[in-house]
Amino acid sequence: MAQPVVQTIHRDPALFWWILLPITVVMILTGILRHYAMILLQTAPKKQMLPQIRQQRSLVRGINLRTNANILSPSSFQARKVFMVSAYQDGKFLADPEARGKPRPNPMSDPAAMEGMMGMMKGNMAMMIPQTLIMGWINAFFSGFVIMKLPFPLTPQFKSMLQSGVGTRDLDVRWVSSLSWYFLTLFGLQPVYTFILGSNNSASQVTQQMSQMNPGAGLMGPEQDPDKLFLNEAENLEVLEHRWILDGVEDRLLARLSA
Amino acid sequence: MNEERELAINPIVQTSVQHNTQVVSNIRNLTASLFGVAAGTLGLESYPGFIFYLIGTFIVSGLVFVFRAEGKPSEYFHRPLGDLWGGDVFSGLSSFVLTWTLFYGLVRA
């Protein structure tokens, strides 16, 4: 079987200056713009009343006691545990003790929950709008001709996507139009953003998804009953198996020194 | 239980782990882009290009092992095998393909 003829296309060198470079620069600038837009769009945390803060912090205090329990000596852990459990069960830290045992209001009517949803919407919009705009821009200006050759072969399924607007049936799939350069920059520019903007920038998709999972938000959301959370935490503290880290430290020290 | 106790005695600080991962991924991203430039300039196509990338990342892993971890990766990584040698191999692939395509297009095609 004869070797297939290698197709060559002579292209204008100006293609680089007028297509590849502008697309790359625009992609980098959109990433930077998205980063700063996300910073601007972030709503400052609302100022909370003192009882609310106390309610939230005391739950965090219980959790901290539970996670760091092994550092405390048995007697001091017992004292803390007894205090926290009794305070939780009496509802001492509750923001409004009268509301104990009443059903919670509908979360949809709560303005704080709506605000959280709006924040998530804004994040998604900041991703979607630039991508749609740039795709449209590239399709409007730069479609209908090939600009470069990929260094690796692809299956013919990619032909319709990467050679959109190029009406030649037999052209090798490795010749691609500007849209594929857009896709390459979309995925390949993450490290560039990292170098320009620092490691926790919001220009790349992955870090943005991570930042939406705000750890503090789920801890005491408005839809959860703080009293139930407190009782739950009291139970967790009660069943915790306490094991002091300094148990048998002398033996360990001697073993290390003699080794 | 024994391992849990060991972790409590010698705790792993999350911040340090993150910092180490950050350093390694910075090195990987930068070198992946440079390998792309090299592969494109050499005019490598399809499989030789990807093999070039794999060999390059392996050499970079060796350099990180010798110079950054000073031959003792277990002091810097929680799981030396996965985090240093295997883990990040494909994270730099997209930037490698980007610069590879760009320089291949500029130099050869």
ipTM of the complex: 0.73
**Which DSSP string corresponds to A220-245?**
T-TTS-HHHHHHHHHHHHHH-----T
The total number of structural domains in chain A stands at 1
Per the domain annotation, does A141 fall within a domain? yes
Q: Mean of the per-residue pLDDT values for chain A?
A: 75
* pLDDT range class, residue A194, cuts 50, 70, 90: confident
Per the domain annotation, does A94 fall within a domain? yes
Q: Print the domain residue range for A101.
A: 14-258
Task: Find chain A residues with C-beta within 8 A of B38's C-beta.
Answer: none
Q: Is the pLDDT of residue A205 over 60?
A: no
Joined together, the tokens standing for residue A238 give 């009660």
What are the extents of the domains in chain B?
2-107
Residue B28 to residue A47: CA distance in whole angstroms? 42
Average pLDDT of span B77-89 = 68
* pLDDT range class, residue A200, cuts 50, 70, 90: low
pLDDT at A216: 43
The residues pairing with B27 across neighbouring beta strands, listed in sequence order, are none
Residue A109 to residue A61: CA distance in whole angstroms? 30
Residue B69 to residue B76: CA distance in whole angstroms? 7
Q: Of A176, A235, A203, which Cα lies nearest the Cα of A29?
A: A203
Residues 52-81 of chain B whose Cβ lies under 8 A from any Cβ of chain A = none
Among A146, A150, A189, the residue to mutate for chain B (most B Cβ within 10 A): A150
Q: Is the pLDDT of residue B44 over 60?
A: yes
Please tell me which residue, B85 or A40, carries the higher pLDDT value: A40
Average pLDDT of span A186-199 = 77
Q: What is the pLDDT of residues B9-36, one digit of tens each?
A: 677 777 887 788 788 888 888 888 898 8
- Residue B24 sits at the chain A interface (C-beta within 8 Å): no
- Residue B90 sits at the chain A interface (C-beta within 8 Å): no
Name the least confident of A94-98, A139-143, B50-54, B85-89. B85-89
Query: Å from A148 to nearest chain B CA?
Result: 6
- Residue A83 sits at the chain B interface (C-beta within 8 Å): no
H or E, element range at B23: helix B14-42
pLDDT at A213: 45
Please tell me which residue, A91 or A222, carries the higher pLDDT value: A91
Per the domain annotation, does A145 fall within a domain? yes
Q: Is the pLDDT of residue A204 over 60?
A: no
Q: Is the pLDDT of residue B67 over 50?
A: yes
Looking at this protein, which amino acid is placed at residue A184?
Answer: L
- Residue A252 sits at the chain B interface (C-beta within 8 Å): yes
Q: What is the pLDDT of residues A15-39, one digit of tens each?
A: 777 888 888 898 888 888 888 887 8
Q: How far is CA B49 from CA A79, A147, B52, B75, B90, in A?
A: 65, 21, 5, 34, 14
Reported pTM: 0.69
The residues pairing with A176 across neighbouring beta strands, listed in sequence order, are A148
Q: What is the pLDDT of residues A39-90, one digit of tens each?
A: 887 777 777 788 888 888 888 888 888 888 878 888 888 888 888 888 888 8
Q: Is the pLDDT of residue A218 over 50?
A: no
- Residue A72 sits at the chain B interface (C-beta within 8 Å): no
Residue B92 near residue A137, CB atoms below 8 Å: no
Residue A163 near residue A177, CB atoms below 8 Å: yes
A217's CB contacts (< 8 A; 6+ apart) are A116
Per the domain annotation, does A239 fall within a domain? yes
